[in-house]
Amino acid sequence: MSIVVQDLVKFYGKHKALDSISFTAEKGKILGFLGPNGAGKSTTMKIITGYLPSNSGKILVSGVNIEEDSLKARSLIGYLPENNPLYPDMYIQEFLGFIAEIYKVKNKNNSAQRVMEETGLMGMRNKKIGQLSKGYKQRVGLAQALIGNPEILILDEPTSGLDPNQLNEIRQLILSLGKEKTVLLSTHIMQEVQFLCDQVVILNKGKIVANDSVSSIMKDFSSRIEYLVEFNLEIDLDEIKRLENVLDVKLVGKSGDSFTYSILSSQEEEIREKLFDFAVKKNRILLGLKKTDTDLTEIFQSLTQS
């Protein structure tokens, strides 16, 4: 039970939406699939699920080639697309039974009840979908993705529109599903990625710019330490850059006689003492010195912003 993407290329006219991307999503792990709008995330998911053809490359879904046996591959996938197409005039239980028939699920009523219980819809089962809030419509979309008990789940913004209580419930459900299934999760919520995901793939302009475990990505970037340093007078940026272990310096704030600089360092141990010595030698008063914590949002921005 895995998704293997090899050298995937997709053109829209002359625009190359995907540029030879490769990655693997494994059973028992949740893969966070990230990128800014237009990076190629939705295109990739549509190709994996058989909604779109690729121009070249190979996709294996639990060992099944999506192009050679599309029907078999799609039968192994549960897909919640970003726009979550539903039938507003159908009742929840009726809709899930209908989806179970399309998937040729045995004991469709039992399957519908199972996914309603998993997604917290039992109390709403006799309501029309059109009467539901956005959060409950999202639950219905997740339920239909689960109806065939698929080996692989592809979820595009699954927690969109949920209130904090619903958010926690759905996150716990995704975590439990991730223990038994292969889950590919696309989201813009970085805290969600840190909470849920074992692996992260970040796309930018159709190319993969990061592919590793969350802990490894955080560790790689934690070696670059940022300090916000406040002086009473302006300083020469080049003089600071010449200090050992300083990678970059820029002015980020000015208020009256106060100048705040962002200083990137490669090591934590020595830079603070050097900054104190620098202030003394240059007759500057060090008004503030604060180390900032790097989080996944900052890493994402540094990898995807031009």
Q: Both 197 and 230 in a single domain?
A: no
What pLDDT sits at residue 113? 93
Give how many domains the chain has, as a whole number. 2
167 and 241 share one domain: no
Q: Are residues 166 and 72 in the same domain?
A: yes
Q: Are residues 208 and 241 in the same domain?
A: no
Q: What are phi and psi of 64, to 5 degrees?
A: -95, 125
CATH number at residue 24: 3.40.50.300
Instruction: For residue 251, give the amino acid letter.
Output: L
Domain endpoint, select from 214, 245, 268: 214
E strand map for the chain: 2-12, 15-26, 30-34, 56-61, 64-65, 77-80, 152-156, 182-186, 199-204, 207-213, 225-231, 246-255, 258-265, 286-292
pLDDT given for residue 267 in this prediction: 62
- Please check whether residues 139 and 285 belong to one and the same domain: no
Q: Are residues 31 and 80 in the same domain?
A: yes
Q: Is residue 159 domain-shared with residue 186, that is, in the same domain?
A: yes
Same domain, 156 and 256: no
Classify 170 as helix, strand or coil: helix
pLDDT for 206 equals 95
Check which CATH number belongs to the domain holding 265 and give it: 3.30.70.120
Residues 53 and 197 in one domain: yes
Torsion on CA atoms 157, 163, 167, 170, rounded to nearest 10: -80
Per residue of the chain (306 residues), what is the pLDDT tens digit?
A: 799 999 999 999 999 999 999 999 999 999 999 999 889 999 999 999 999 999 999 999 999 999 999 999 999 999 998 888 899 999 999 999 999 998 888 888 899 999 999 888 999 999 999 999 888 898 999 999 999 899 999 999 888 777 888 888 888 889 988 998 999 999 988 888 988 999 999 999 999 999 999 888 887 776 677 888 999 999 999 998 888 888 889 898 888 889 999 888 876 566 888 888 899 999 999 999 887 766 788 788 888 875
Is the domain of 196 the same as that of 279?
no
Verify that 28 and 161 share a domain, yes or no.
yes
Tell me, yes or no, whether 110 and 231 share the same domain: no
* Domain end marker among 166, 197, 214: 214
Tell me which of 214, 234, 268 is where a domain ends: 214
Domain that holds residue 270: 223-304
